Amino acid sequence: MSKIGIGIVGTGYMGKAHSVAMNCVGAVFDTPLKPVCEMICATTESGAKEKAENFGFNRSTADWRTLVSDPKVQAIVIASPQYTHKDIALAAFELGKPVLCEKPMGASTADAQLMVDAAESSGVVNMVGFNYTRSPATQHARNLIARGSIGEVTWFRGEHTEDFCADKNELANWRTQGRANGTMGDLSSHMINCAHALIGPIAKVCADIETVHHKRPTADGGMQAVTNDDHAHCLCRFESGVMGHLYFSRISSGRKMGYAYEVSGTKGSIRFDQEDQNALWLYQMSDAEPERGFRKILTGPAHPDYKAFCLGPGHGTGYQDLLIIEAKDFLNAIHTGKSVFPTFKDGLAVNYVIDAMWSSNDTNQWIKVS
């Protein structure tokens, strides 16, 4: 058994989730590398010290450079704001340290390209935090599609819909300012990555992007202009020729975690909804006519990565478990020296699709993905 020192930059929602994952993953999966939560970085020394105590880290700092350069920190998890991703990743790769970076990579496609170039030049293990494709149900869906259980795929529909901005009276905040924080900069990347995982690369898009609530109230009683998008939809064609449709929204009333997809094929179909993440719906035309219909498959020990958490079928996994699976895959990649999906290059591919969608919206035409 070998120990590996982990450094995490960021102590917010995702910083905590990654901290919990690194504290648990060695026990859940008995990984060959046992993570040691060595150092965590926040924006202030006092805040970092408090989070280190709460999250189980040996040390803390308010300077990410101190964390990256520390010899006891052997692998880096970036869970800080997008505009910080590039510099942290480049510094880590220069020192030969593996990086797991939260999505979306960097503040722009230019940032993401520099990160990919540095990752490939260094030859160091790298991964992007698209955790939802790691649910046992979605992993099973990938296996079903790959082995032809629903025949040749003919159509894909994917959405990532939530309602945290559905109320027009919700106060203006950081989410309503700047393109990087809009729906396209926030939610779209997860489902685009899912589409790539299930169907393959997207070749061209025809997109329509919209801001519905153009102004929002401020805490002092004023109004502030919203400078990013609320929702978007997109027709697409995959490189395989498969037809598709994507929809992303932060104003989809009633949807809390609407990461959902449907895949149709010549022999059957698959449906999934993250709000019911422990179930996959499968239809197969080979069933006898009286019993033919969608059947609900409850995940259990027979499905990928489930057994490590629970021996009971139908008992289920949760959101945090997806981060633990992700941590396991990252540690195993470091152990073998081989990066696994989704790599930085896969994250860049998502950025290319997002750029193409914006270009399509701006020009009112189909756009090929770079």
**Domain ranges, ordered by start, for the chain:** 2-131, 136-276+278-317+348-363
CA dihedral over 324, 325, 328, 334, signed as positive or negative: negative
pLDDT of residue 240: 98
Please, where are the H alpha helices in 72-174? 82-94, 109-122, 136-146
136-276+278-317+348-363: CATH architecture = 2-Layer Sandwich (3.30)
Q: Which two tokens stand for residue 101?
A: 């970076």
- Beta strand pairing call for 231-238 and 59-61: unpaired
Per DSSP (E only), the strands in the chain are 2-9, 33-41, 59-61, 75-78, 99-101, 126-128, 153-161, 202-210, 215-217, 223-225, 231-238, 243-249, 258-265, 268-273, 279-284, 295-298, 367-368
Q: Residue 238 pairs with which residues in a beta bridge? A: 202
Instruction: Give the C-alpha separation, 348 to 358, whole Å.
Output: 15
Instruction: Give the C-alpha separation, 139 to 231, whole Å.
Output: 27
Query: Coil, strand or helix: which one is 294?
Result: coil
pLDDT tens for each residue of the chain, 370 residues long: 599 999 999 999 999 999 999 999 999 999 999 999 999 999 999 999 999 999 999 999 999 999 999 999 999 999 999 999 999 999 999 999 999 999 989 889 999 999 999 999 999 999 999 999 999 999 999 999 999 999 999 999 999 999 999 999 999 999 999 998 999 999 999 999 999 999 999 999 999 999 999 999 999 999 999 999 999 999 999 999 999 999 999 999 999 999 999 999 999 999 999 999 999 999 999 999 999 999 999 999 999 999 999 999 999 999 999 999 999 999 999 999 999 999 999 999 999 999 999 999 999 999 999 8
Q: Nearest-CA neighbor of 325 among 14, 54, 80, 22?
A: 22
pLDDT of residue 1: 58
Q: In the CATH scheme, what is the code of domain 2-131? A: 3.40.50.720
pLDDT of residue 370: 86
pLDDT of residue 9: 98
Instruction: Give the C-alpha separation, 143 to 157, whole Å.
Output: 18
pLDDT of residue 192: 98
Whole-model pTM: value is 0.96
Q: Which two tokens stand for residue 128?
A: 């992007």
Q: Residue 290 pairs with which residues in a beta bridge? A: none
Instruction: Give the C-alpha separation, 240 to 130, whole Å.
Output: 23
